[in-house]
Amino acid sequence: MSRNAKEEIRLSDHFTYGRLLRFTLPSIAMMIFTSIYGVVDGIFVSNYVGETPFAALNLIMPYIMLFTAVGTMFGTGGSALVAFTLGAGDRKKANEIFSLILYFVTGLGALFMVIGIVFAEPASKLLGADEAMLPYCVQYARICFVGAIPFSLQYVFQSFFITAEKPKLGLYVTVLAGVTNMFLDWLLVGVLRFGLAGAAWATVTGTVIGGVIPLIYFLMPNTSLLRLGRARWYGKALIKSATNGSSEFLSNVSMSIVNMLYNFQLMKFAGESGVAAYGIIMYTNFIFIGYFFGYSMGVAPVVGFDHGAGNTDELKNVFKRSVKLIAVSSLIVTALSILSARLLAMIFASANPDLLEMTTTAIRIYSISYLFTGINLFGSSFFTALNNGKISALISFMRVLVLQILFVLILPQFLEITGIWLSIVMAELCAVVLTGWCLVRNRKRYGYA
Q: Which amino acid is at 84?
A: F
pLDDT in tens, 366-404: 999 999 999 999 999 899 889 888 898 899 889 888 898
**DSSP character at residue 442:** T
Which long-range contacts (C-beta less than 8 Å, at least 24 apart) are formed by 124-128? 124/59, 124/60, 124/63, 127/59, 127/60, 127/62, 127/63, 127/260, 127/263, 128/59, 128/260, 128/263, 128/264, 128/267
Write out residues in the chain with pLDDT < 50, as ranges: 1-5
In order, the DSSP letters of 269-331 are HTTHHHHHHHHHHHHHHHHHTHHHHHHHHHHHHHHHHHHHHT-HHHHHHHHHHHHHHHHHHHH
Q: What is the pLDDT of residues 280-292, one digit of tens each?
A: 888 788 888 888 9
Element (H, E) at 158: helix 148-163
Indicate yes or no: pTM above 0.95: no
Q: Which residues contact 306 (CB under 8 A, 6 or more apart)?
A: 11, 87, 312, 314, 315, 318
In this prediction, residue 26 carries a pLDDT of: 86
Residue pair 128/45 in contact (Cβ under 8 Å)? The answer is no
First vs last Cα of the chain: how many Å apart?
26
DSSP-derived secondary structure for 164-227: TT-HHHHHHHHHHHHHHHHHHIIIIIIIS--HHHHHHHHHHHHHHHHHHHHHHHHHS--SSS--
List of residues 6+ apart from 136 with CB closer than 8 A: 52, 53, 56, 57, 196
User: Given this model, what pLDDT does residue 247 score?
Assistant: 67
Query: What pLDDT, on a 0 to 100 scale, did the predictor assign at position 368?
Result: 95
- CA 325 to centroid of chain Cα atoms: 20
181: which residues sit within 8 A by CB, 6+ positions away? 37, 40, 41, 202, 203, 205, 206
Residue 431: CA atoms inside 13 Å, Cβ hemisphere, count? 34
User: Rounded to 5 degrees, what angle do the CA atoms 261, 31, 435 make?
Assistant: 60
Determine the pLDDT at residue 3. 42
> Could you tell me if 150 and 211 are in contact, meaning their C-beta atoms sit under 8 angstroms apart?
yes
CB atoms within 10 A of CB 329: 16
Closest CA to 325 of 288, 396, 374, 383: 374
Domain range list for the chain: 26-244, 245-449
Give the closest residue to 281 by CA, choosing from 348, 333, 186.
348
Between CA 338 and CA 135 the distance in angstroms is 36
Q: How many helices (H) and strands (E) does the chain have?
A: 20, 0
What DSSP designation does 225 have? S
Half-sphere exposure of 347 (CA within 13 A, CB side): 16
